[in-house]
Structure 1
Amino acid sequence: MNSEGPAADDGLRLIPFRGLRYVPERVGSLAAVTSPPYDVVVRPDGLHHLESADPHNIVRLILPQAATPAARHRQAADTLSRWLAEGVLAPDPEPALYVYEQRHCDILQRGVIGALALSEPSEGVVLPHEDVMSDIVADRAALMRTTDANFEPLLLTYRGTGEATGTTAVIERTVHRPPLLATTTEDGFSHRLWPVTDPAELASVDADLARRRALIADGHHRWATYLRLRAEHPGHGPWSYGLVLLIDTARYPLRVRAIHRLLHRLPVAGALTALTATAFRVRRLDTPLPRALEALATAAGESNAFLLAGDGAFHLVDRPDPELLARTVRTDRPEAWRSLDATVLHSTLLDHLWSIPDTPEQIAYIHDTEAAVTQAVRNGGTAVLMHPVREEVVRELAEKGVTMPRKSTSFGPKPATGLVLRSLTLE
């Protein structure tokens, strides 16, 4: 993804919007009403924890609980209306872009939140790198359609120059001003938000981003949702834009982590039985999780490798037989795609050896390593722990228009949900 990107006016277009934010005096604390993105919440434990943190936690909007999908979406819309009427949420007085900062120990991430003009994948302005599931897109679309809102920004990255020019210069000037809000969430991350309303600064961001294109780091299902809703609302209007956070990774590199799989209905013993009769090497590791992950990292440097857990031990699975891969992995994709751990997991293990369909009843996708292991032990399933994909591989495939298996990567840190929302009824 080169720093020049598209020609001027053919790239990213980020416009100001009237942010919808919590009124601090009406909630216990800003930290108590925030949440991770909807697909990172580990249900049910994480959901219950967030719901009990504050009666106005944003999880009641992004993951409403009711008997049917229609009832859930209606409940979210009713909750949003009630919180607006009660003054729990209120719109900012004028449209703005928002500089957003996250900080924790040696991690510092800064970017700009705004309403991004939507573009089709064929235009090459916003590049996805993962496949999506239609049922999740349908659910997110119904939620946004019913509430007329974007509750959480997608995380997009672009490659600037790394120098304090253009958008980066605006960000670096802005963070020296008093913030609009500041809070520290229970994960130890501090969050600060500033509005940018000055016409000259907005023009500087606009001119800079017009030469850029972006990679979707997090939020593929929500991006697909934005495109679906835009198609439902032809013409130029609020549905032609979607809420995003843009990060210049030349200035603020993101971390890339793996997303693990929890196989609900496959015990570890069953998984191992299928593997031992095939051309994989399987080794039992009676070590703590950190040491097991170190062994996984070492093995992943040599071949496809996975760590199975759920029976009180860890089992390192690596060195697949090339002939097995040749029979089970499709050949019409680049070698970088064929050699992905996620490709081999889904094509060779899940589809061919374990015969497990990729449905929510069979497979859960969990970002937190310990949570994946704990749930596998608790429920008698198998956690398949993955090693992260290198960011350059993700970008290489995205630029070729090749999508990875869904949930192949987890870029972070992810923006906290609940700091600024976008209501389409205000535009």
Structure 2
Amino acid sequence: MNTAGHSDDTGLDLIPFRGVRYVPEQVGRLAAVTSPPYDVVVRPDGLLHLESADPHNIVRLILPQATTPAARNQQAADTLRGWLAEGVLAPDAEPGLYVYEQRDDDILQRGVIGALRLSEAADGVVLPHEGVMPPVVEDRAALMRATSANLEPLLLTYRSDAEGEPKGATAVVERAARREPLLATTTEDGFHHRLWSVTDPAEIAEIQSDLARHQALIADGHHRWATNLRLRAEHPSPSAWDYGLVLLVDTARYPLRVRAIHRYLHRLPVSEALSALGDDFRVQTLKGTLDQALEALGEAAVQGNAFVLAGDGAFHLVDRPSPELLARTIPADRPEAWRTLDATVLHATLLDHVWRIPDAPDHIAYIHDTAATVEKAERDGGTAVLMHPVREEVVRDLARQGVTMPRKSTSFGPKPATGLVLRDLMS
């Protein structure tokens, strides 16, 4: 079997691995041991909910709880090795790539999970579109050093030729999906998950030769990608650290959802946020529900930059920024597609210039759920800034130019569930 991948550096180099999975006889419902990605778990309520769902929930590895960082990481390492020794987790008998499916009433997503050779952004093979926060990278790196494992995959997208019958990796994915799965479960968010292994050398070669012609966009997992690159640099090559665990989705065949990530401004009441705008923006107070406010936001976003502010019991549409203000506050040395992003205008113009709010956790929270953002603002007295999502093509085009967007500009999904398959770097 070709497990070494491809020797050229022109495209994606994906290799099989022996997936580590929960042993069904040793745990309760499989759904009860899975978790969303570590950065989507809402702490502390979400963490406690997952910990209580099952004593072997994967959250005990990805978000261990102890008094110091070193103790947390050691606890995760001890827990992982203990579960392997007890047979709660076990490696599959032979290396393979894994076809993974997520489905609900609105979307069907399928992709391939494998170990991807790590490459720098400058190589143009894997394209990031957001910057990262060094403390988060260091935190994740310390956990991976302790556990010597890839505990959850990144979500990467690529685009095949969608015309005609599926070919290459996509053809293998669709053939696998007609077979009996290794596992099937439904998580409490309503998503149905299925996983298949691909161990046939011909099918693996078919996937590898196809992906070697493509580059990928990081849809979710920028901090995990940066962590993988750091750890690769720390270990002499060749080693298992040369690769990282990824889910690759062909979005020509299976388009992802692209949602906005909203901001909650802890220390800025809505009244102060609105008064600071002066005449530099148009402000309209909307009547109706949150859904109606989001519909109005979508219509306004077609014409230009637009936001909805909430937290005082009403919804305020903020749009039509002053061109003179934008010219003064937005860097001119970036492509126009970057300068006109809502996230760029929010950070460079509103946060930095108008409201003078630092991008720090005690000032800004980044929240995926729209209703939760509004509820928090109304409960705590701050301002919810609701955003309109960016199209995937815009993200990809900027990434190809080497231009990173303001962080937390997008939320691609559905995100892979954590806990269905792990990669142990020690085996």
TM range (shorter): over 0.9
Counterpart code for 2:137? V
1:258 to 248, 257, 260: 260
Which residue of structure 2 lines up, in the alignment, with residue 3 of structure 1?
A: none
Partners of 1:70 and 1:376 in 2: how far apart?
35
CA shift, 1:7, in A, is 11
SS in 1 for 2:384: strand
Correspondence 1:46-85 to 2 at 5 A: 46-85=46-85
After TM superposition, list the pairs within 5 Å mapping 1:61-140 onto structure 2: 61-140=61-140
Structure 1: which 5+ residue stretches go unaligned? Answer: 1-5
Give, in angstroms, the shift of residue 364 of structure 1.
1.6
Equivalent position amino acid for 2:329 in 1: T
The amino acid of 2:60's aligned partner reads: R
2:3 aligned residue: none
Cα deviations by residue, 1:160-209 (Å, 9 ceiling, x for unpaired): 12242111111111111110000011111100000111111111111111
Partners of 2:247 and 2:105 in 1: CA distance: 21
Which structure 2 segments of 5+ residues have no match?
1-5
Note if 1:211 corresponds to 2:205: no
Question: 1:180, 1:34 → 2: CA distance?
Answer: 16
1:176 is aligned, of 146, 170, 178, to 178
The TM-score, its normalising length taken from structure 2, stands at 0.95
Letter in 2 for 1:255: R
CA apart distance, 1:351: 0.9
Q: Decide whether aligned partners of structure 1 residues 397 and 58 sit closer, same or farther in structure 2, where only a CA change above 3 A counts.
A: same
| Cα deviation 1:338-363 (Å, max 9, x = unaligned) | 00000000101111112211122222
Q: Is the contact between residue 285 and residue 292 of structure 1 (CA under 8 Å) also seen in structure 2?
A: yes
- For residues 421 and 79 of structure 1, the distance between their equivalents in structure 2, rounded to whole angstroms, comes to 14
Q: d(CA) in 2 for partners of 1:219 and 1:386?
A: 21
1:186 aligns with 2:191: no
CA distance in 1 between partners of 2:284 and 2:148 (Å): 52
| Contact 1:154 1:218 (8 Å CA) reproduced | yes
CA distance in 2, matches of 1:75, 1:271: 44
RMSD: 1.6
CA distances 1:65-100 after superposition (whole Å, capped 9, x unpaired): 222222222222122122222222111111110000
For 2:7 and 2:287, how far apart are their aligned partners in 1? 56
Question: Once the two structures are superposed, what CA deviation does each residue of 1:270-316 show, in whole Å capped at 9, x if it has no partner?
Answer: 222322x2401122224211111111111111121111122222221
- Structure 1: distance between partners of 2:344 and 2:398: 13
Matches within 5 A, 1:14-413: 14-162=14-162, 163-275=165-277, 277-413=278-414
86-95 or 14-23, larger mean C-alpha shift: 86-95
Give the letter for the 1:180 counterpart: L
CA distance in 2, matches of 1:307, 1:395: 26
- What do the CA deviations read for 1:37-57 (whole angstroms, capped 9, x no partner)? 111122222222222222221
Letter in 2 for 1:253: P
CA 1:270–1:65: 2 relative to 1, 3 Å: farther
Aligned CA distance change for structure 1 residues 310 and 43 (closer, same or farther; 3 Å): farther
For the residues of structure 2 that align with 1:267 and 1:68, how far apart are their CA atoms? 35
- Compared with structure 1, are the counterparts of its residues 26 and 379 closer, same or farther at alpha carbon in structure 2 (3 Å cutoff)? farther
Shift of the 51–379 alpha-carbon distance from structure 1 to 2, 3 Å rule, reads: farther
Tell me if the contact between 1:264 and 1:364 (Cα under 8 Å) persists in the aligned partners: yes
How far is the alpha carbon of 1:9 from its aligned partner? Answer: 5.6
Task: Find the aligned partners of 2:202 and 2:318 in 1 and give their Cα distance.
Answer: 56
Structure 2: distance between partners of 1:405 and 1:171: 34
Specify the SS of the correspondent of 1:160.
Answer: coil
Q: Distance in 1 between matches of 2:182 and 2:251?
A: 24
Distance 2:16 2:218 in 1: 20
Tell me the TM-score normalised to structure 1 length.
0.95
- Counterpart CA distance in 2 for 1:82 and 1:362 is 40
**SS of the counterpart of 2:111?**
strand
Identity %: 76
Aligned-pair CA distance for 1:115:
0.4
* AA partner of residue 227 (structure 2): T
Question: Structure 2 CA distance, aligned partners of 1:146 and 1:406?
Answer: 27
Structure 1 stretch displaced more, 379-388 or 8-17: 8-17
Question: Structure 1 pair 332/239, CA: closer, same or farther in 2 (3 Å)?
Answer: same
Q: Is the 8 A contact 1:7 1:210 kept in 2?
A: no
CA distance in 2, matches of 1:9, 1:139: 30
Counterpart CA distance in 2 for 1:231 and 1:336 is 33
Question: How far 1:8 sits from its partner (Å)?
Answer: 6.8
How far the C-alpha of 1:137 sits from its partner, in A, is: 1.0
Q: Secondary structure at the match of 1:101?
A: strand
TM superposition outliers: structure 1 runs of 4+ over 3 Å: 6-9
Q: In terms of mean alpha carbon deviation, does 114-123 or 302-311 score higher? A: 302-311
- Look up the SS of the partner of 2:36 in the other structure: coil
Query: Which amino acid is 1:384 matched to?
Result: V
CA distance in 2, matches of 1:7, 1:17: 18
Find the residue that maps to 1:425 and give its secondary structure. Answer: coil
Distance in 2 of aligned mates of 1:271 and 1:7:
55
